[in-house]
């Protein structure tokens, strides 16, 4: 019973959001339509449907907005490692640049994503950046 309470507490902590950040943690419908239009059709096909891709983008936005480690992603986002690997693939393929432009390059969400992607790419060795 104590273990169950501990897990519940951990999950609540993972899902906790700083006040005023709710709207920074996911895309609204207009933003999603703009992002979807900017992405190659193959991206949606690979994810089988747009909702999985939207959940993925929202998960990455959560990481960007909260600064939390990838392992703290909610289980509803899928396995954290899978989300991270997909994030890195998109970074190397330049897909995040398309997302950032679609979100209006100057918006707060675009800025959060740009910072996360730039930090990741700068942390890679020159061989990994290619």
Nearest residue to 67 (alpha-carbon basis) of 36, 10, 34, 112? 112
Nearest residue to 100 (alpha-carbon basis) of 91, 113, 88, 86? 113
pLDDT in tens, 78-111: 999 999 999 999 999 999 999 999 999 789 999 9
Q: What pTM did the predictor assign? A: 0.76
pLDDT in tens, 8-55: 444 444 444 443 445 568 899 999 999 999 998 877 555 556 778 899
């Amino acid at each position: 019973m104590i273990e169950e309470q501990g897990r519940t507490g951990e999950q609540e902590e993972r899902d906790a959001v700083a006040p005023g950040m709710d709207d920074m943690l996911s895309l609204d419908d207009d933003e999603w339509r703009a992002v979807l239009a900017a992405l190659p059709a193959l991206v949606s096909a690979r994810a089988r449907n747009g909702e999985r891709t939207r959940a993925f983008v929202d998960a990455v936005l959560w990481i960007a907005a909260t600064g939390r480690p990838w392992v703290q992603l909610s289980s509803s986002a899928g396995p954290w490692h899978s989300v991270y690997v997909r994030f890195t693939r998109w970074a190397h393929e330049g897909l995040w640049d398309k997302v950032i432009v679609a979100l209006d390059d100057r918006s707060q969400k675009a800025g959060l994503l740009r910072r996360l992607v730039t930090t990741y790419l700068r942390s890679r060795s020159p061989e990994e950046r290619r």
